[in-house]
Amino acid sequence: MSTIDPKIDALVPAWLYLPDISERWGVVITEVRDMVRSRKLLAVRRGANNSLQVPADFIEDDGPVKHLVGTLTVLRDCGFSDEEILEWMFTEDPSLPGSPIQALRENRGTEVKRRAQAMAL
């Protein structure tokens, strides 16, 4: 959990505060914090008050986007930092097409994870 680089910040169209996520999911804030701590969700410090925020595209009404947790694990296992993960997830990939997060939101998780695993080789 670190302060985000402005270049990476500009790639992410919208952010959510942890309390907003907990309200949306109908869970206590500690559950969302635990997900960040256990690296099931990626949060960075940003904004004037340096608060933890999660890209809005990572969140659905009932939890994280399908296949997000597995994709984050693969990328971290490849040695990616949180900023590198954000950059990769939100950068257009003509072979997908679209960005990896778009593909995850469209339930194309296998394609995304395959590309992430290939980067480890």
pLDDT at 26: 97
Asked whether residue 71 is domain-assigned, the answer is: yes
Residue 118: pLDDT band (50, 70, 90) is confident
pLDDT at 4: 78
Task: Give the range among 6-10, 55-59, 74-78 with minimum mean pLDDT.
Answer: 6-10
Say how many domains are in the chain.
1
Quote the CA–CA distance of 26 and 5 in Å, as a whole number.
Answer: 31
Closest listed residue to residue 14, CA positions, set 48, 58, 50, 52: 58
Neighbours of 105 (CB within 10 A): 18
Domain containing residue 85: 6-119
Asked whether residue 1 is domain-assigned, the answer is: no
pLDDT at 44: 93
Asked whether residue 94 is domain-assigned, the answer is: yes
